[in-house]
Chain A
Amino acid sequence: MTNTTQAKTGLSRRSLLKTGAAAVGLAAGSGAITGFPTIWAQSNITLRQFGTGVSNLNAIADKCKADLGITLEMTATDSDAAAQRAVTQPDSYDIADIEYWICKKVFPTGVLQPMDVSKLKYYDELVPLFKTGKLTPDSVIAQGTAPHTVGFVEAQDSKVFAKTPTNWFTMVPTIYNADTLGIRPDLVGRDITTWADIMDPAFKGKTAILNIPSIGIMDAAMIMEAMGNIKYADKGNMTKEEIDKTIDFLIKAKQGGQFRAFWKSFDESVNLMASGEVVIQSMWSPAVAAVRSKGIACRFQPLKEGYRSWGGGLGLAAHLSGAQLDAAYEYINWYTSGWVGGYLNRQGYYSANMVSAKKFMTEDEWGYWIEGKPAKGDIKAPDGTVMEKAGALRDGGSFEERMGHVACWNSVMDEDRYMVKRWNEFIAA
């Protein structure tokens, strides 16, 4: 069943990232990581990891084999299938690479075991966003399933999420980003500053939103709030009335012809934008890069209400013990030790350990991707093709500016089933 439902989104994202992954393995990995006590080659340890495809990168498996001697077997699925597999086939994996909202569903079922923080070498270097919910001490905690709310449990055998950091970590954060609207600056003809702009009558028939209910509803919530139609108590956990109001609004907009299309896969969003069918739409960061790589102007437009963010991490299967558990810790410590972080940062995502990732990036790369400085030289993709020319600036600016303005996280609502039902009505309306 898992196989039949593999979403195009996950796979296509992955295939995009995969391009030239091997090249980076050689180039960036030349300064080999040292200081790992164990080489697992002799014992032939294999870890089976499954996840949502975004971070299931072959380059990581290759590098892991070279550095640790641990063979990583990776399986990519879409997020719904990942949630299902995590719960129903707990013996089929050793490492779960899942998003935090999936963790909220999965962890209470007891198929994952929490990690002992004292065994995590780089725990102290992890971005505080994943521990306290605040990027900087004075940041506002975003709505939705913020990672820190499902990041800890009270004790090793507990299934209840702790309110404050404890010694038991549910998942080690690995990859995250802030999403916003993508625009065609050459075709919109004016400044785009707010989520509400997608409903501007001037763009009638030229907008799109994504048709993945759990993410689409968040984009819709950002739009609704920006328009002043509603003020959610928590848009990550709407009440039935709030869901009704949001969906009714979407249906009205759809029947008024505001949308050109609803996309489900990464490629669809790229094509809609590149062909000019759509000038403003929900988008993912690598899709914006893909449109740009065709020589078409496309911006990942920062908006005043903030970003919709998502994040994923690695969790340990409950059945792990002994040498396998040690290997899993070893793998996780390696994951956060910098090479992977640098690799993810160069893809336009963010690493949870910025301190170590910095050591694996050039000064110019660090400046462009993380500090929001103009690129001094050409910024290259992992396969060596030029992604951005010298002088380019990252949309939205620095890491602090982008991740510091997260308005909500992808989430799972208590009224999830009702929301999906209403969302289907919106699509059918």
Chain B
Amino acid sequence: MTVALERPAIAAAKPARRRRFSLGAVTPYLQSAPLALILGAFLLLPIIMIVVVSFWDYDFAAMYPDFLTTNYSDVLGSWVTWKTYLNTIKFAAIVWALTLFIGFWVAYFLAFHIRTTAMQMVLFLVCTVPFLTSNIIRMISWIPVLGRNGLINTTLVHLGIVPKPIEWLLYSEFAVVLAMVHLYTLFMVTPIFNTLMRIDRSLVEAAHDAGASGWQVLWNVIIPLAKPGMAIGTIFVVTLVMADFSTVQVMSGGQSASVALMMKNQMSLLQYPAAAANAVVLLVLVLLMVAGILRIVDIRKEL
């Protein structure tokens, strides 16, 4: 981001120096001011506040400015936290694997099997149709499908495939993963589709001419070139799942925990400093994960 900001700044500064010094010196700052102000006020400042508050003391009524580490020792010292984090990471891993697999093949189909660009765009828009309704509605609409007396169970029982309704379809981890995959796959499809479309088709032809089989082309040409898209999709999906609370609460019937849900519980009990400490831990963890992804794949190559 800094790179992108500096470049026009330097370009603007050079001709200015020849004319009048003062304006030229100020221009880059003026140009970057709007974004800096917005990011400062709505991103940096809140994060600083969260970090500050995470060291405060509290009771049921109020927070007291202080410098205590008890919020952190409470968070890190409790087996509930560890279990919840593991649970959240587990969800993230499963959902990531599934969305990557499904997302890649959807994107691959769109990019390589649909001949006309117009049709590609039409089908891509079809993929986004569910996004015309809200996240919550798409999630809740699973409930009548999966429930004990829901569509699937009624059908299975009527067809005589199962003697009695399957219980684990709803209010289970299965339901959570299913809903998350449904909600987040498109975040994988879009960046992968984007990178696949940029692949020079002559590379594929060259590989074929050199005697590569279909799988070899896929494995040695297409997937390596699609990696930046996969990485961007991964960042989307992982951060979304790590921060999710509504899907986990609704689809598990409140029986499963996630880090964000834990924070939401603390906030509803007005334990803001404890929630803030949790938020800081989660932020650090997610930033580490994103840093790890960026080390493995250079997404700048695509941007």
Residues of A within 8 A of B (CB): 1, 4-5, 7, 78, 80-81, 83-84, 87-88, 105, 109, 205, 208, 211, 213, 254, 259-264, 271-272, 275-277, 416, 420-421, 424-425, 427-429
| 9 pairs of A and B residues whose beta carbons are closest in the complex | A261-B253, A262-B254, A428-B257, A87-B61, A428-B80, A425-B80, A84-B270, A88-B62, A428-B84
* Contact B83–A428 (Cβ < 8 Å): yes
* Contact A277–B170 (Cβ < 8 Å): yes
With A262-B254, A277-B170, A425-B80 known to touch, is A78 a contact of B268 (CB < 8 Å)?
yes
Complex contacts, A105 vs chain B, CB 8 Å: 60-61
What are some 8 contacts across the A-B interface (CB < 8 A)?
A5-B267, A211-B254, A254-B255, A261-B171, A275-B148, A276-B148, A428-B83, A428-B87
**Contact indicator per residue, chain B 144-177, by CB within 8 Å of chain A (1) or not (0):** 1001110000000000000000010011000000
* Contact A259–B60 (Cβ < 8 Å): no
* Contact B253–A80 (Cβ < 8 Å): no
Nearest Cβ on chain B to A125's Cβ, whole angstroms: 34
* Complex alpha-carbon distance, A97 and B221, angstroms: 68
Q: Which of A80, A87, A276 contacts B269 (CB 8 A)?
A: A80
For residue B265, CB closer than 8 A to chain A, the reply is yes
Nearest Cβ on chain B to A144's Cβ, whole angstroms: 17
Complex contacts, A425 vs chain B, CB 8 Å: 78-80
* Contact B62–A277 (Cβ < 8 Å): no
Nearest Cβ on chain B to A250's Cβ, whole angstroms: 12
* Complex alpha-carbon distance, A7 and B148, angstroms: 28
Complex contacts, B102 vs chain A, CB 8 Å: none
Complex contacts, A416 vs chain B, CB 8 Å: 60
* Contact B60–A427 (Cβ < 8 Å): no
* Complex alpha-carbon distance, A78 and B269, angstroms: 10
For residue B262, CB closer than 8 A to chain A, the reply is yes
With A260-B171, A276-B148, A277-B171 known to touch, is A84 a contact of B60 (CB < 8 Å)?
yes
Write the chain B residue with the least CB distance to A416: B60
Complex contacts, A88 vs chain B, CB 8 Å: 61-62
* Complex alpha-carbon distance, A416 and B167, angstroms: 35
* Contact A205–B267 (Cβ < 8 Å): no
Nearest Cβ on chain A to B21's Cβ, whole angstroms: 49
**Contact indicator per residue, chain B 55-90, by CB within 8 Å of chain A (1) or not (0):** 000001110000000000000001110011001000
**Number of interface residues, chain B, beta carbon within 8 A:** 29
**Contact indicator per residue, chain B 260-303, by CB within 8 Å of chain A (1) or not (0):** 00100101111010000000000000000000000000000000
Nearest Cβ on chain A to B76's Cβ, whole angstroms: 14
* Contact B61–A261 (Cβ < 8 Å): no
Q: Which of A4, A277, A424 contacts B147 (CB 8 A)?
A: A277
* Contact B255–A84 (Cβ < 8 Å): no
Write the chain A residue with the least CB distance to B171: A261
* Contact B147–A261 (Cβ < 8 Å): no
**Contact indicator per residue, chain B 228-263, by CB within 8 Å of chain A (1) or not (0):** 000000000000000000000100011101000010
* Complex alpha-carbon distance, A263 and B233, angstroms: 33
Nearest Cβ on chain A to B181's Cβ, whole angstroms: 21
* Complex alpha-carbon distance, A87 and B64, angstroms: 14
* Contact A80–B268 (Cβ < 8 Å): yes
Complex contacts, B257 vs chain A, CB 8 Å: 427-428
Nearest Cβ on chain A to B141's Cβ, whole angstroms: 13
* Contact B270–A87 (Cβ < 8 Å): no
* Contact B167–A205 (Cβ < 8 Å): yes
- A87-B62, A211-B254, A428-B83 provided; 4 other pairs, C-beta below 8 A? A1-B272, A4-B267, A263-B253, A428-B262
* Complex alpha-carbon distance, A276 and B171, angstroms: 13
* Complex alpha-carbon distance, A283 and B272, angstroms: 29
* Complex alpha-carbon distance, A81 and B148, angstroms: 36
* Contact A261–B60 (Cβ < 8 Å): no
Nearest Cβ on chain A to B28's Cβ, whole angstroms: 38
* Contact A424–B265 (Cβ < 8 Å): yes
Nearest Cβ on chain B to A391's Cβ, whole angstroms: 30
* Complex alpha-carbon distance, A254 and B252, angstroms: 13
Write the chain B residue with the least CB distance to A422: B80
* Complex alpha-carbon distance, A412 and B149, angstroms: 39
Complex contacts, B265 vs chain A, CB 8 Å: 424, 427
With A276-B148, A277-B147, A427-B265 known to touch, is A261 a contact of B270 (CB < 8 Å)?
no
Write the chain A residue with the least CB distance to B257: A428
Write the chain A residue with the least CB distance to B264: A5
* Contact B267–A261 (Cβ < 8 Å): no
Q: Which of A80, A205, A262, A276 contacts B270 (CB 8 A)?
A: A80
* Complex alpha-carbon distance, A284 and B36, angstroms: 50
Complex contacts, B148 vs chain A, CB 8 Å: 275-277
Nearest Cβ on chain B to A127's Cβ, whole angstroms: 29
* Complex alpha-carbon distance, A81 and B267, angstroms: 10
Nearest Cβ on chain B to A277's Cβ, whole angstroms: 5
Nearest Cβ on chain B to A109's Cβ, whole angstroms: 7
Write the chain B residue with the least CB distance to A206: B148
Complex contacts, A420 vs chain B, CB 8 Å: 269
* Complex alpha-carbon distance, A379 and B254, angstroms: 35
Complex contacts, A260 vs chain B, CB 8 Å: 171, 253
Complex contacts, B84 vs chain A, CB 8 Å: 428
Nearest Cβ on chain B to A224's Cβ, whole angstroms: 20
* Complex alpha-carbon distance, A4 and B257, angstroms: 21
Complex contacts, B147 vs chain A, CB 8 Å: 275-277
Residue of A271, A276, A427 ringed by the most chain B CB atoms within 10 A: A427
Complex contacts, B149 vs chain A, CB 8 Å: 275-276
* Complex alpha-carbon distance, A428 and B262, angstroms: 8
